[in-house]
Amino acid sequence: MVGVLGIAAIAAYVKLAPADKIPDNLRAKPAATSTPRPTDDGHVDIIKPHAKGTDITYGRGTAEVPQGGDKVVTAVNGFLESCPFVPDDARALSAFVKNREVVINFSASFYKSYGTTDEGTLIKGLQMSLGQFPEIDHILLEADGKPIDTLGNIELMNGLNVIRPDGSEPSTHGAAQP
C-alpha cells in the first residue's frame, strides 16, 4: 500500500511539477533522434561523380536541407541522384547517428548487385558524402532495416569509414602506447 502510494506520488510529481524541478533521473529519456540538426546555413554538400572511362572523379555541389529534414539523408539522396545506375526509387530513408557511427536505412530497391566500377563509385561517393559531417567517422548500411552485406564484390557487414573533404579517413582513436 505504501509502495503504491509512493509510486503514485512520484508520478503525480513528475506530471505536475515544472520541468526544471524534475530531477534528471526521473526525466523522460528523449526519443532517439535522427542526425543532428541541419548545419547553420541549412545546406549540405552534394557529391557529384563524373567519369571519363574508368577514371572517376568527384565534384561538389550544395543542396538545401528541407524544413524538418535530415542533413545526412539529404546529402546521401543528393549523391544518389547523380548515379544513373541506381534504381530510380532507391533512396535513403533515415539516418541514425550514435557514437560517431551512422546507420543509414535505404529503401529495398537500393540493395542489389552493381557492376564493379559502379559499385566502387557508389561506395566512394557514400564515404565522401558522409565525410562532410565531423561527428560521423563510420557508416553502416541497411536496406529495409536489414544489414547490407555487399553491393557486389566488397564486404560491407563491418561498414565503411567516411572520407573527409581533404581526402583523409578518420584516425584510430585512443591508441595506447605499449
Partner 1 sequence: MLATVRMKRLLQFLIPWMAITSAGWAQTRSAELVFTYFGSIRGRVFRVGNECYVPLDVLRNVGWQCEEREGTATVRVDERRARIALRRIADQPMVPMTELLDAVGLQGDWEPGTNRLDVFAPLNSVKYERGHLTVDAGLPVKSALTVLKNPTRTVIDVTGAKMLPITGLILQDGAKITQFKPNVVRITINGTVPNPVLPADAAVAKSFNATLGVTSDPATIVTKGEDEDPPQGGVPVTTQLDPPNNQTFIGPQVQAGPLTAGEDGPTIAVLTLRLSRALPAAPTFRHPEPSLLEIVLPNTTIDLGEGAPSIDPLAVESATTRMEGSNAVLSLKLVRPMGTEISFAGNDLQIKLLKPSIGDGRLAGKTVVIDAGHGGHDSGATTSGKELMEKNMTLAIAKLASSQLIQEGVTVIMTRNTDEFIALQERSEIANRNHADFFISVHINSNGLDSTTRGGITFFHLKDPISYVLADCIQSQIKQVSGLPNLGVWSDGKIYKSGFAVLRYAKMPAVLIECGFINNATDRKRMMTDDFKQNIAGAIVKGLKVYLGQK
Q: Contact region for partner 1 (CB under 8 A) — 5-13, 28-36, 53-61, 102-110?
A: 53-61
54 lines the binding site for partner 1 (CB under 8 A): yes
90 lines the binding site for partner 1 (CB under 8 A): no
Task: Give the nearest distance from C-beta 34 to partner 1 in angstroms.
Answer: 21
Please give the radius of gyration of the chain, using alpha carbons only, rounded to the nearest integer: 21
Residue pair 141/122 in contact by the 8 Å Cβ criterion: no
67 lines the binding site for partner 1 (CB under 8 A): no
* Binding string, residues 6-45; x marks residues near partner 1 by CB under 8 A: ----------------------------------------
150 lines the binding site for partner 1 (CB under 8 A): yes
- Give the C-alpha separation, 89 to 79, whole Å: 14
Residue 82, number of CB atoms within 10 A of its CB: 17
- Give the C-alpha separation, 150 to 119, whole Å: 9
Residue ranges in 107-126 that form contacts with partner 1 under rule CB under 8 A? 112-121, 123-124
Q: What angle do CA 136, 163, 124 make, to 5 degrees?
A: 115
Whose cell is 533512396? That residue is 91
Residue 77, number of CB atoms within 10 A of its CB: 19
Task: Give the nearest distance from C-beta 40 to partner 1 in angstroms.
Answer: 24
68 lines the binding site for partner 1 (CB under 8 A): no
Residue pair 62/45 in contact by the 8 Å Cβ criterion: yes
69 lines the binding site for partner 1 (CB under 8 A): no
Q: Cβ closer to partner 1: 25 or 158?
A: 158
DSSP structure class, residue 169: -
Which residues would be at the binding site for partner 1 (CB under 8 A)?
49-54, 56, 83-85, 112-121, 123-124, 138, 149-150, 152-155, 158-161, 166-172, 174-178
